[in-house]
Amino acid sequence: MATDLEIAVHKVVSTNPATGETLGSFDSASGEEVRRAVSRAHSAQGNWNALGIRNRLAIIRKFQQLLHENKSGVAQLVSREVGKPYVEALLTEVVVVLDTARFLLDNAYRLLRPEPVPHGSLAMKTKSGLLLREPYGVIGIISPWNYPFSTPATEVLGALVAGNAVLLKPSEFTSLCALELNSLLHAAGVPQDVFQLVVGDGATGAALADSELDKLIFTGSVPSGKRVAQVAAARLLPVVLELGGKDPMLVLDDVDVDVVSSGAVWGAFVNAGQACLSVERCYVHRSLYDRFVERCVEKTRKLRVGNGLDPETDVGPIIHERQLRIVESHVEDARALGARVLTGGKRLPERGPNFYAPTVLADVTHRMRIMREETFGPVLPIMPFDNDEEAVRLANDSEFGLAASLWTRDRARGERMAARISAGSVLVNDVVSSFGISEAPHGGVRVSGLGRTHGPLGLEEMVRTKYVDSDRLPGVKKVWWYGYGEAFTRQMEGFVDLMFSPSWLTRVQGALRSTGAYVRKGRL
């Protein structure tokens, strides 16, 4: 597995993508170090679970307080390590995690407590059922670089509240953000072995995926996710996979062009387009197409590109050279196949080593890579459509299915169309923000992944369910036990009529025929 995912390097280096400055250097955890960490987590998990959910929530409340007190420092760290504007780091990283803690504090006890299971069958009315939710044990989390604080933190908090021990392997590009999360959790009272950080490269992640975990949550690329799934399948390790998207934005013919073009520009360029929920394909009704494209170009040219720590910056850098080359190749492929580059379409070396100008493309088609492959950069490709049917068809013409947005003044129309789009979530008249709704699930369909994080469904991913049923008449032999015979057969036929016949007369007759079964002799 270690050679399957990526080739190991001895150290991982954290670099400011806006300046090229080295922020830190760390040894990659070896496979043996990962295995020892997993073993320690297994030893510590039982006591953590025994602490009880109310005591674990008290620790989460302390974490929330500490994060709030250190909000500026955390946001600045995210901005330095990823490049995004400070205000984006504050809102999409720190605020999201604070609100996740709020959601768990308000709801986790109710969602995780034993749940009575009603029994509708007459034959089972003497029983009492409970659905129990128990921690998996040790959960491994492999998280990405684009949201290096909020993505792992939201998953870690849910896993911890449910009583699991957690090992987090962050992206090798954002180790400092993970170390800050580690520090805050331990300061809040999470024991050292209950939450552990394993810093490293792809080989470290491979070792974690191949270790004695009880569940694995992975966020990353489709190819890496498939390899993780193959390793997990070998021992039926449960997984949650969030593997990115090619999210469509559908602009119908009744919108306010000024409002919706602003939404498109923000949705395409927030975090320099390096968000799995970014607008990566924009489809606009032909009657609005020219005006819409014109407004998008006008607004894109006003965006200020620069270092995220500069409060005037709107769009920061690409994370590294390799990702920048992917963006360049998609734009050049589209240009070669007939797309018009209306603004941008080039590097900005005067800004720093990893800057690419926010780019608007017109006249794109599905023959182009920009409309098929995940770009993960500041590019807004726009394509016209003629009617709602075509819009839905174009939106669904993708192997991805993470999220989508649909824009219309007619809410009912939007929700009808949303139901026909293949995606894990669809926003009507907004974009991206579903990740910031702590009650809402996050995840996709098709190659965008398996399972969900966030909200009640995300919390369900952190527990095993166990059904417990108690019979209220332990001293009575059950009617259906051995001692069959012709009379019993007729009685059971009557019982079936009692339960399921559409005729009330037949039901009454069935009740009379089945009565003898309850007092029959000869049961073993």
Same domain, 240 and 276: no
**Does residue 433 form part of some domain?**
yes
The residue among 466, 485, 510 that closes a domain is: 466
Strands, E, within 434-522: which ranges? 449-450, 463-471
- Give the 3-state secondary structure of residue 440: coil
Predicted pLDDT of residue 4: 37
Contact indicator for 23, 195 with CB cutoff of 8 Å: no
CA 166 vs CA 14, 131, 185, 228, 275: distances in Å:
23, 24, 12, 18, 25
Same domain, 487 and 381: no
The CATH number of whichever domain residue 425 belongs to comes to 3.40.309.10
Same domain, 114 and 254: no
- Greatest alpha-carbon pair distance for the chain in Å reads 94
**Does residue 190 form part of some domain?**
yes
**Does residue 450 form part of some domain?**
no
Q: How far apart (Å, rounded) are the C-alpha atoms in residues 45 and 20?
A: 40
pTM score, whole prediction: 0.95
Same domain, 332 and 354: yes
Q: What is the mean pLDDT of each run of 10 residues along the chain (524 residues)?
A: 42 96 97 98 98 98 98 98 98 98 98 97 94 98 98 98 98 98 98 98 96 98 95 96 96 98 98 98 98 98 98 98 98 98 98 97 98 98 98 98 98 98 98 96 97 97 98 93 95 96 97 92 86
- Give the 3-state secondary structure of residue 463: strand
**Structural tokens at position 215:** 């569940």
Domain of residue 145 covers 34-118+125-244+456-466
Q: Is 242 a catalytic residue?
A: yes
Same domain, 107 and 41: yes
**Does residue 19 form part of some domain?**
no
Q: Is 177 a catalytic residue?
A: no
**Does residue 28 form part of some domain?**
no
Q: How far apart (Å, rounded) are the C-alpha atoms in residues 455 and 439?
A: 4
Same domain, 227 and 289: no
Share in percent of the chain as helix, strand, coil (round to 5): 45, 20, 35
Distance of CA 213 to the CA centre of its chain: 20
Same domain, 54 and 135: yes
Contact indicator for 149, 78 with CB cutoff of 8 Å: yes
Predicted pLDDT of residue 2: 35
Q: What DSSP character marks residue 315?
A: B
Look at residues 439, 431, 408, 406 and name the one whose alpha carbon lies nearest to residue 420: 406
**Structural tokens at position 466:** 């166990």
Same domain, 423 and 490: no
- Give the 3-state secondary structure of residue 37: helix
Q: How far apart (Å, rounded) are the C-alpha atoms in residues 494 and 464?
A: 39
**Does residue 371 form part of some domain?**
yes
49 residue type, one letter: N
Predicted pLDDT of residue 499: 96
Of the candidates 81, 93, 177, 276, the residue annotated as catalytic is 276
Of the candidates 172, 242, 280, 461, the residue annotated as catalytic is 242
Same domain, 148 and 269: no
Please enumerate in sequence order all residues whose Cβ is within 8 A of that of 471, keeping only pairs 6 or more positions apart, or say none: 126, 127
The CATH number of whichever domain residue 154 belongs to comes to 3.40.605.10
**Does residue 449 form part of some domain?**
no
Q: How far apart (Å, rounded) are the C-alpha atoms in residues 179 and 186?
A: 11
**Does residue 278 form part of some domain?**
yes
Same domain, 378 and 260: yes
Same domain, 289 and 423: yes
Q: How far apart (Å, rounded) are the C-alpha atoms in residues 89 and 103?
A: 20
**Domains contained in the chain, number:** 3
**Structural tokens at position 50:** 């025994």
Predicted pLDDT of residue 312: 97
Same domain, 75 and 223: yes
Predicted pLDDT of residue 10: 72
Predicted pLDDT of residue 102: 98
Q: How far apart (Å, rounded) are the C-alpha atoms in residues 134 and 154?
A: 19
Q: What DSSP character marks residue 453?
A: B
